Structure 1
Amino acid sequence: MKITAIETLSQPEGPSPSVTFVLLHTDEGITGLGETYYTPQTVAAYVHEAIAPVVLGADPLLDSVWDTLYAQSARRVGGGTDMRAISAIDLALWDLKGKAAGLPVYALLGGADPSRSGVAVYNTCAGIAYAASTHVGRGGQAGPDDLWRAANDPGGLAQELRDEGFVGMKVWPFDAAAQRYGGMRISSAEVKAGRSVVERIRDAVGDDLEIMLEGHAQWDASPALKILESVAEFDIQWAEDFVLAHDPATLRWLSERSPVPLAASEYLGGRWQYRQLLEQGAIQYLHLDPSWCGGISEAQKILALTSAHGVVASMHDCTGPINLLAGLHLAAANQTVAYQEVLRSYLSDVYPSMVDTEWTRSGGLMAAPDRPGLGAELTEQYLAQPGLVRQVSRRD
């Protein structure tokens, strides 16, 4: 089997304009589907200019291209675009391998743990308008969606999520203050306002729901500590990315003082960046995004490091359907993965228009599909959208 063409697809006017899908075509008619998120035109340019010459003509079942792609990127300083493009290719390769073998990807990774029927899912509280944003952590809201309710009716939202079977909910009640002052300070009144959101959630559901706080990496360490001390009494599951994770020493400083466990960070890429966090003892929860970190191949290595350091892993998804599927397959094959992030609004209203996967939850758990590969194909609805941008590189 040989890869004969690489195709990139994005929809600037669609429900999630930051998603780039990658299709790998082969001479046997089997295709592999991957994706990544942010800067779709830039990612597509990198795929066709830098990756296509390496991947076209390769045997997807035998040839290992990850190290080659990474090395050529690292020798040019590397960066987010490169790693995200490599991630999309890697996801597509695993999808292709699973389809060729007639097996779900989790089976190729070693098989699912028979003692678990899925991974626990929590709801990140945003709506469909959030998917249309091109800015990290600054998605919009549309009427009384989950983002609006997290600020205005957090108790009622918490009760609803509990009743739907989610194990937890993630909110970011301090973000407005971070954006107002550049993350350098927060007033006592703003601390009180953000703390009130957390208090109303805990009052509404007691201990029935875990509460996760998101910081979107906008804070300096001292105001972050002030915030976390203010909410300690509410038994917060974790505080995620309150400071940028690119400096493990700063994160360790915060971790040593914070009464709330710290989580980081889907913003990192490659095992080397994650290794620094783990070796510093800077986090209690590791967050991982397969469509950013280097794909499934690299996620497997990162999760092995995570397990060796006794840290709990959580799979990130606030991006696209293939990334979510990759997270579910990785969770099935790795006991260190305890959580999968979802947005219920994406499951009901965004992802079904893009891929043909059935998104089901049972008892607060989601499981990877048993279909060969990752378990998704692009829908006719997505492919028929006006304005769809498609680019193809073919083997000579």
Structure 2
Amino acid sequence: MKITQVDTVHAAAYPNILWVQIHTDTGLVGLGETFRGAQAVQAQIHELIAPYLLGKDPLAIEAHSQHLLYGYVGFASSGAETRAASAIDIALWDLFGQVTQQPLNQLLGGAVREHVPVYNTCAGYTYNKAPQRRSVTQASADAAPEGPYEDQVAFVKRPAALAESLLSEGYKAMKIWPFDPFAQASGGQSISARDLDTALEPFREIRRAVGYEMDIMVELHSMWNLPMAVRIAQALEEFKPYWIEDPIQMSNLDTIAEFRSRTRVPVCGSETLATVQPFIQLLKNNAVDYVMLDLGWVGGLSEARKIAALAKAFHKPVAPHDCTGPVVLTASLHLAMSTTNVVLQEVVRAYLGGWYRELVTRLPDVRAGHATVPPGAGLGLALSPALLHRPDVTIRSTKL
């Protein structure tokens, strides 16, 4: 078997997402996905990766992973080179599953659980759908809702009702980011006592409404300097958050470790890191309590499973990221199904009930706070034929 064609698929309506389809001479097609900078990733795939892959064995996954991730430039970062390699790697694993007629979690060692606990990231339908992520202040409560899950508006305007809604659907944990507007206003350099108190109000309302039935994750999006991140974390301690995520840019590991030493809130990081090397240092510095990774940015399944094994050696749990696309979510769930130290998988119920349904043939089943992978070989899904025939979709091919 050999690779005969590499396609990229891009829809103007979803400008952040790029899909990859790898064709073989047997007729099997593997599917991959990545997110952000779609045009740059597309160029990387067709100018450098496809010429390397064409004619090669698609099942030499580790060899291809090493070649693509550890080139002369682009290694140990989540830039275009790594995002392209991530999408390719996911597609190759999908092919492996189809060739063997096994689901990916079986190829990764077999299922260690029947379903994966999930938490809801409280984004709305259009968060991350446009080229620029929609901020809390842009998510106006006056805008016409697209459906029942405008959770980004709700965590500011109606946090108690939001928590009650999530509990009614079986979710036991939720993630919010009410500090972002104040970081945007000051460049992350300062938050006043008044603004800090305002940003804490959703936590008060959630605790008054549902007590500790709901765990709350706090996302800071790497927007703050160290003193302000510490100030926020210390103010949050009374609400007992499950974790505080990416409080500062995850580049200076000594500073991250210092942050962790100055708060009692567990620290989670980081979806922004790529390949094994930064995670080695993150864990050696004892800088985080939870290891987060994004399969579409970190190097695909090949790197993610190594990072999960590394985290296990340091007795740290893993929580795969997804606020981006249904293929990465599904691949992450296959990893979680077969990995003992995965503790939670991120999902966005607005996406699962909304635009994700327009993209793929089937989705993971999420109910009662848990998720299962789609049945079938490989990922268990493919791009929707209707998507491929949309007028705003561009398919670019490089052939043998």
Category of TM-score, reference length = shorter chain: over 0.9
Q: Which residue of 2 aligns with 1:252?
A: 257
Structure 2 residue identity aligned to 1:6:
V
Secondary structure of residue in 1 paired with 2:265: coil
Q: Which residue of 2 aligns with 1:44?
A: 42
CA positional deviation for 1:207: 1.1
Q: Which residue of 2 aligns with 1:146?
A: 151
CA positional deviation for 1:386: 1.4
Structure 1 residue identity aligned to 2:173:
G
Q: Which residue of 2 aligns with 1:179?
A: 184
CA positional deviation for 1:200: 0.7
Deviation per CA, 1:17-71: give whole Å up to 9, x if none. Answer: 2000000000000000000001111110000011112111111124621111123
CA positional deviation for 1:337: 0.4
Question: In structure 2, how many angstroms separate the alpha carbons of the residues matched to 1:74 and 1:309?
Answer: 29
Counting aligned pairs with the same residue, the percent is 39
Q: Which residue of 2 aligns with 1:96?
A: 95
Tell me which of 200, 210, 213 is aligned to 1:208: 213
Question: In structure 1, how many angstroms separate the alpha carbons of the residues matched to 2:294 and 2:240?
Answer: 26
Q: Which residue of 2 aligns with 1:7?
A: 7
Question: In structure 2, how many angstroms separate the alpha carbons of the residues matched to 1:65 and 1:375?
Answer: 23
Following superposition of structure 1 onto structure 2, how do residues 252-331 of structure 1 map, counting pairs within 5 Å? 252-331=257-336
Gaps of 5+ in 1: none
> Residue 127 of structure 2 contacts residue 133 of structure 2 at CA under 8 Å; is this kept in 1?
no
Secondary structure of residue in 1 paired with 2:277: helix
Structure 2 residue identity aligned to 1:353:
E
> Residue 95 of structure 2 contacts residue 378 of structure 2 at CA under 8 Å; is this kept in 1?
yes
Q: Which residue of 1 aligns with 2:172?
A: 167
Distance 1:75 1:367, change over 3 A: closer
Secondary structure of residue in 1 paired with 2:273: coil
Q: Which residue of 1 aligns with 2:117?
A: 120
Tell me which of 7, 16, 19 is aligned to 1:18: 16
Question: In structure 1, how many angstroms separate the alpha carbons of the residues matched to 2:72 and 2:51?
Answer: 14
> Residue 9 of structure 2 contacts residue 20 of structure 2 at CA under 8 Å; is this kept in 1?
yes
Deviation per CA, 1:280-317: give whole Å up to 9, x if none. Answer: 00000111100100000000110011101111110100
Structure 1 residue identity aligned to 2:6:
I
CA positional deviation for 1:369: 2.4
Following superposition of structure 1 onto structure 2, how do residues 373-388 of structure 1 map, counting pairs within 5 Å? 373-388=378-393
CA positional deviation for 1:380: 2.0
Gaps of 5+ in 2: none
Tell me which of 223, 243, 247 is aligned to 1:218: 223
Structure 1 residue identity aligned to 2:4:
T
Distance 1:314 1:79, change over 3 A: closer
CA positional deviation for 1:75: 7.4
Q: Which residue of 2 aligns with 1:156?
A: 161
> Residue 78 of structure 2 contacts residue 297 of structure 2 at CA under 8 Å; is this kept in 1?
no
Tell me which of 45, 52, 55 is aligned to 2:53: 55
Tell me which of 127, 130, 140 is aligned to 1:130: 127
> Residue 54 of structure 1 contacts residue 69 of structure 1 at CA under 8 Å; is this kept in 2?
no
> Residue 137 of structure 1 contacts residue 216 of structure 1 at CA under 8 Å; is this kept in 2?
no
Q: Which residue of 2 aligns with 1:235?
A: 240
CA positional deviation for 1:72: 2.1
Question: In structure 2, how many angstroms separate the alpha carbons of the residues matched to 1:187 and 1:131?
Answer: 28
Following superposition of structure 1 onto structure 2, how do residues 339-354 of structure 1 map, counting pairs within 5 Å? 339-354=344-359
Which region of structure 1 is more displaced relative to structure 2, 361-370 or 163-172?
A: 361-370
Structure 1 residue identity aligned to 2:27:
G
CA positional deviation for 1:367: 1.6
Structure 2 residue identity aligned to 1:91:
I
> Residue 17 of structure 2 contacts residue 36 of structure 2 at CA under 8 Å; is this kept in 1?
yes
Secondary structure of residue in 2 paired with 1:227: helix
Structure 2 residue identity aligned to 1:7:
D
Distance 1:78 1:179, change over 3 A: closer
CA positional deviation for 1:76: 8.0
Distance 1:357 1:279, change over 3 A: same
> Residue 120 of structure 2 contacts residue 347 of structure 2 at CA under 8 Å; is this kept in 1?
yes
Structure 2 residue identity aligned to 1:262:
V
Secondary structure of residue in 2 paired with 1:338: coil
Question: In structure 1, how many angstroms separate the alpha carbons of the residues matched to 2:20 and 2:185?
Answer: 38
Question: In structure 1, how many angstroms separate the alpha carbons of the residues matched to 2:198 and 2:297?
Answer: 33
Aligned length, in residue pairs: 391
Distance 1:372 1:131, change over 3 A: same
Question: In structure 1, how many angstroms separate the alpha carbons of the residues matched to 2:252 and 2:373?
Answer: 34
State the TM-score, normalized to the length of structure 2.
Answer: 0.95
The alignment yields a C-alpha RMSD, in angstroms, of 1.5
Question: In structure 1, how many angstroms separate the alpha carbons of the residues matched to 2:134 and 2:255?
Answer: 21
> Residue 120 of structure 1 contacts residue 167 of structure 1 at CA under 8 Å; is this kept in 2?
no
Question: In structure 2, how many angstroms separate the alpha carbons of the residues matched to 1:346 and 1:287?
Answer: 20
CA positional deviation for 1:129: 1.1
> Residue 364 of structure 2 contacts residue 372 of structure 2 at CA under 8 Å; is this kept in 1?
no
Deviation per CA, 1:92-138: give whole Å up to 9, x if none. Answer: 0000110111010000000001xx22111111111111132323574
Question: In structure 1, how many angstroms separate the alpha carbons of the residues matched to 2:72 and 2:129?
Answer: 29
Question: In structure 1, how many angstroms separate the alpha carbons of the residues matched to 2:277 and 2:54?
Answer: 28
Secondary structure of residue in 2 paired with 1:128: coil
Structure 1 residue identity aligned to 2:5:
A
Q: Which residue of 1 aligns with 2:397?
A: 392
Structure 2 residue identity aligned to 1:130:
Y
Distance 1:76 1:172, change over 3 A: closer
Give the ranges of 4+ consecutive aligned residues of structure 1 lying more than 6 Å apart after TM superposition: 75-78
> Residue 291 of structure 1 contacts residue 323 of structure 1 at CA under 8 Å; is this kept in 2?
yes
Secondary structure of residue in 2 paired with 1:355: coil
Distance 1:316 1:246, change over 3 A: same
Structure 2 residue identity aligned to 1:72:
G
